[in-house]
Amino acid sequence: MNVHNLMEEYVYTGVNELFDDPEIGKQEWFTCNCEQCRIDTICFVLNRIQPRYIKSGRGLVYSKIEEIYDKSQIMADINHLALEGMKQVLSTRRPHAEKVDTFPEAPVFNFPTIVGRILDGQTFEPVKDIFVSLLMDSKLTEAIDCTWENPYRISKYTPGTFTFWPKPVSTKFENTKKVFSFEIRVEEKGFDLIRYYFEIGLSSESFIRTAYNARNSFFLPDLHLFPEHDKLDYMQYCL
Ligand SMILES: [Zn+2]
């Protein structure tokens, strides 16, 4: 099973086609055509489509989403996401040298990617255009690099799913154990606040893990988003 690599190939091709498209080259927002912007756009897309293709034991969570999509739909979504990503990368990057991602000194605690879904509490449909935040010790968690933004907006092309990858945290010694406390927060106007707390226990390592590995993911249970007035309905119902 090598779906992940196949997707990388599609994304790689799709993003490069966009960057090489003469029509796009004429657009006002097309401000840079360098390798780094292409790579960042590829990462932007991969960060969003990856959860759909995980084939681990818990990947079954995503099987429902997979059923909804056929291949041509996936390709269309990749193209939409690639364009979205390209615009974001080009508009948020000024001179690239300014935004080099820095890593802490090893030894470090390397975090897994944190993967979850948000469903509409009434219809169980995956939500879209919703912002999800990851907090550690009540503060927005810093991401491993600028393509894993936090808060993360759930794209309509990857309904329901979100993925975070926290930046490694420096420590003094290898093989130290530590439990990190996280919170997933969804503050969306018109909906009940979601605050979901969880912990991840880690051992420090002598190296910084920067290569993405789908097997090293931490899966959260599905979270449900309810409209605000629901509570009132429910109370009336109880009365
Ligand atoms: Zn560039």
Rg of the chain (C-alpha set): 19
Q: What does the pLDDT read at residue 61?
A: 41
Question: If you average pLDDT over residues 92-115, what whole number do you get?
Answer: 77
**In the chain, pLDDT over 70 holds for what percent of residues?**
78
For residue 104, what pLDDT band results from cuts at 50, 70 and 90? confident
Interval between CA 199 and ligand 1 midpoint (Å): 37
Q: Is residue 100 part of a domain?
A: no
**Residue 101: inside a domain:** no
Return the pLDDT at 220.
95
CA of 41 to the centre of ligand 1 (A): 10
Which band of pLDDT confidence, cut at 50, 70 and 90, is reported for residue 60? very low
How far is the centre of ligand 1, averaged over its atoms, from the C-alpha of 98 (Å)?
A: 12
How much is the pLDDT for 176? 96
Question: Does residue 176 sit within a domain?
Answer: yes
Tens digit of each residue's pLDDT (9 = 90 or more) over 174-227: 999 999 999 999 999 999 999 999 999 999 999 998 776 667 889 999 999 999
Distance 143 CA to ligand 1 centre (A): 20
pLDDT higher than 50, residue 3: no
Q: Is the pTM of this model over 0.75?
A: no
Looking at the structure, tell me whether residues 117 and 144 fall in a common domain: yes
CA distances from 175 to 11, 90, 94, 200, 206 (A): 37, 40, 39, 15, 8
What is the structure's pLDDT at 54? Answer: 42
- On whether residue 97 sits in a domain, the answer given is no
On whether both 81 and 118 belong to a single domain, the answer is no
Instruction: Report how far ligand 1's centroid is from the alpha carbon of 159 (Å).
Output: 29
Q: Which residues contact 204 (CB under 8 A, 6 or more apart)?
A: 107, 108, 109, 171, 173, 174, 175, 176, 177, 178
**How many angstroms separate the alpha carbon of residue 89 from the centre of ligand 1?**
8
Residues 175, 232, single domain; the answer is: yes
Q: Is the pLDDT of residue 141 over 90?
A: yes
Distance CA 96, CA 15 (A): 19
Mean pLDDT (whole number) for 106-133: 93
For the chain, give the percent of residues with pLDDT over 90: 41
- Comparison of pLDDT for 11 and 180, the residue scoring more: 180
Collect all residues with Cβ–Cβ distance below 8 Å to 28 and sequence separation of at least 6. none
114 and 217 inside one domain: yes
pLDDT at 50: 53
Query: Average model confidence (pLDDT) for the chain?
Result: 81
Cα–Cα distance list, 125 to 105, 121, 187, 209 (Å): 42, 8, 18, 34
Q: How far is the CA of 197 from the centre of ligand 1 (A)?
A: 38
Q: How far apart are CA 109 and CA 89, in angstroms?
A: 28
34 & 75 share domain:
yes
Q: From ligand 1's centre to the CA of 19, what distance in Å?
A: 11
Query: Is 113:147 a contact under the CB 8 Å cutoff?
Result: no
Q: Would 169 be classed as within a structural domain?
A: yes
CATH number, domain containing residue 188:
2.60.40.1120
Give 112-133 as a DSSP string: PEEEEEEEETTT-PBP-S-EEE
Say how many Å lie between the CA of residue 32 and the centre of ligand 1: 5
Q: At what angle do helices 71-92 and 35-49 cross, to 10 degrees?
A: 130
- Hey, what long-range contacts does 16-22 have (CB within 8 A, 24 or more apart)? 18/79, 18/82, 18/83, 18/86, 19/86
pLDDT at 156 (0 to 100): 76
Range of the domain at 28: 3-91
pLDDT for 75 equals: 79
User: Into how many domains does the chain fold?
Assistant: 2
Q: For residues 77 and 195, give the distance between their C-alpha atoms in angstroms, rounded to a whole number.
A: 30
Q: Which residues surround ligand 1, an ion (CB under 5 A)?
A: 32, 34, 37
State yes or no: pLDDT of 63 exceeds 50.
no
How far away, in angstroms, is 29 Cα from ligand 1 center?
12
Provide the pLDDT for residue 6: 63
* Contact predicate 154/127, CB 8 Å: yes
Predicted pLDDT of residue 9? 76
Per-residue pLDDT band at 239 (split at 50, 70, 90): very low
Q: Examine the domain organization and report whether 120 and 226 are in the same domain.
A: yes
Q: 47: CA distance to ligand 1 center in Å?
A: 19
The residue-averaged pLDDT of 121-145 equals: 92
